[in-house]
Chains A and B, each alone.
Chain A
């Protein structure tokens, strides 16, 4: 086992534990913090895979923006969960069974794929992955159309947000 594998296993275990804590902790603020820990774990896994750009984007977008938004929402919705109530739905056993079945069938299907057992090869260090990514996002043969559609969607969300936030009583 190489050192990178040990780091990977430690980080993966931490990420999964944090993900379980998100749904199991009693206080919502601590759940939000556990969510941040899980997201950091995913960022570290991106970094281990040699994709620094995705690792940093993960931190900027998910921790810098979304997690702070979630914390803000938690601050404004205090006491939405009382400590006495059970955290489980009555039918949680069926749900657990269903998800376990889905997970095992997904693993089974994936195990028939060639790439499942492949050992990851190191990327060619002479190729700058961000440049490749940037070019493919602006290349008409690549992902230019989906990229532009996403930007239109974001613009629509921005305009919608400004419209909702406006004070309608004034005019």
Chain B
């Protein structure tokens, strides 16, 4: 066990020896180390967000043909630090008639919902908080806590725009959980385990190859869960001023801000872990630092895609968001689950190549059928709304009317 093969195990064993050397009983030292580990992980993630916010602002700036932050430090890299210091000094304003407990609890729950996920993310073969045997379910549960934060913010603020934002949050997030969970069952089915590290180890080939449709639906549902453009209905500024966080100021607003940016990165890691093979790569089992590098490369690709979506796509309407979920993703996800299970089990006796090709073919068929249905649906929708009656005389030459 050296620094290059098991850094966290080494640190853990060393600290355990230090604590027991001070005369603490073994189980008390264990619990202290658990608390310490959680503290370090959470703080590390929050500090990492400072960098993420700068990266996102810089990249979005480039997407939109401007410079982005470029004044404080080289490439504006200390801009977020300056913003952070400013937000620390700002006043907390509590609106009249606010329900104080939900109002103050909401920012904490929002951040906690994201940080909980970090406990199970495997960054390398042995660089992870815990390989929980219910990891996938745990991720879903953590998402539920984040939603609770949004709803409490909307309710506690005593503001109608915040409340509409909260209602939209309920509608959107809980709906998008359905296809998300259904598509998460596909990798769980392939692996036979819900532990995220087990899912990574089972990816030969990557699950995005054998279940591309499930990966796509999972990706979109995660972006919708994150409630950022094009799904940022909960804080649509042209409709709701600022949505559920309208009444927050100072660090309380900052926590919502941190939660959103960290969530975007977290879902990128999650997608890389569940569908892109996580830390898998040449030499990753022997050298965990290499695995960390692979995870980060894959994560960056996904993160870049999310940013591109945010910068490039206009916002949906709320009815479009709900239609997309309930009329397309949910039925399709149920279909994918059934078809994948049947195809995978019936091809289990053949060679892996045939199995992969069979699953790909099944996905292609499902895609074509879905596109066919969408085309029929679109044609139905585009029927002319006003049919000219027989009494309406159409002019012979349309240009006369126009003139």
Contacts of A65 in B (CB 8 A): 144, 174
A27 to B133, CA, bound (A): 39
- A67 in contact with B148 (CB, 8 Å): yes
- A56 in contact with B134 (CB, 8 Å): yes
Q: What per-residue 1/0 map shows which CB atoms of B23-67 lie under 8 Å from chain A? A: 001011011000000000000000000000000000000000000
Contacts of B99 in A (CB 8 A): 27, 29-30
Contacts of B147 in A (CB 8 A): 64, 68
Q: What per-residue 1/0 map shows which CB atoms of A59-83 lie under 8 Å from chain B? A: 1100111011001100100000000
Asked if A171 CB lies within 8 Å of chain B CBs, one says: no
CB distance from B188 to the nearest CB of A (A): 11
A167 to B143, CA, bound (A): 32
CB distance from B117 to the nearest CB of A (A): 13
A65 to B181, CA, bound (A): 14
Q: What per-residue 1/0 map shows which CB atoms of A29-56 lie under 8 Å from chain B? A: 1100100100000000000000011001
Residues of B117-162 contacting chain A, CB below 8 A: 132-134, 137-138, 140-141, 143-145, 147-148, 151-152, 155-156
- A4 in contact with B27 (CB, 8 Å): yes
CB distance from B138 to the nearest CB of A (A): 5
Contacts of B144 in A (CB 8 A): 59-60, 63-65, 68
By beta carbon, the residue of chain B nearest A5 is B27
- B27 in contact with A60 (CB, 8 Å): no
CB distance from B160 to the nearest CB of A (A): 12
Contacts of A36 in B (CB 8 A): 148
A65 to B178, CA, bound (A): 12
A72 to B140, CA, bound (A): 20
- A60 in contact with B133 (CB, 8 Å): no
CB distance from A75 to the nearest CB of B (A): 6
A140 to B151, CA, bound (A): 43
- A53 in contact with B137 (CB, 8 Å): yes
Contacts of B30 in A (CB 8 A): 3
Contacts of B133 in A (CB 8 A): 52-53, 128, 130
Contacts of B145 in A (CB 8 A): 59, 63-64
Asked if A57 CB lies within 8 Å of chain B CBs, one says: yes
Contacts of B347 in A (CB 8 A): none
Asked if B269 CB lies within 8 Å of chain A CBs, one says: no
Given A30-B99, A128-B133, A130-B194, check contact A56 B151 (CB 8 Å).
no
Asked if A89 CB lies within 8 Å of chain B CBs, one says: no
- B137 in contact with A60 (CB, 8 Å): yes
Asked if B366 CB lies within 8 Å of chain A CBs, one says: no
A29 to B163, CA, bound (A): 14
Asked if B367 CB lies within 8 Å of chain A CBs, one says: no
Contacts of A7 in B (CB 8 A): 31
- B141 in contact with A29 (CB, 8 Å): no
Contacts of A33 in B (CB 8 A): 101-102, 105, 152
- 26 A-B pairs with CB atoms under 8 Å apart are A2-B27, A3-B25, A3-B28, A4-B31, A7-B31, A30-B99, A30-B102, A33-B102, A52-B132, A52-B134, A59-B144, A60-B140, A60-B141, A63-B145, A64-B140, A64-B141, A64-B145, A65-B174, A67-B148, A68-B144, A68-B147, A68-B148, A71-B148, A71-B152, A75-B163, A128-B133
User: Can you name 18 extra interface pairs (CB under 8 A) apart from A53-B133, A53-B134, A68-B147?
Assistant: A4-B31, A29-B155, A30-B102, A33-B152, A52-B132, A52-B134, A56-B132, A56-B134, A56-B138, A59-B144, A64-B140, A64-B177, A65-B144, A65-B174, A68-B144, A72-B170, A128-B133, A130-B134
Q: Which 7 A-B pairs have the closest CB atoms?
A: A64-B144, A59-B141, A60-B141, A56-B137, A3-B27, A56-B134, A3-B28
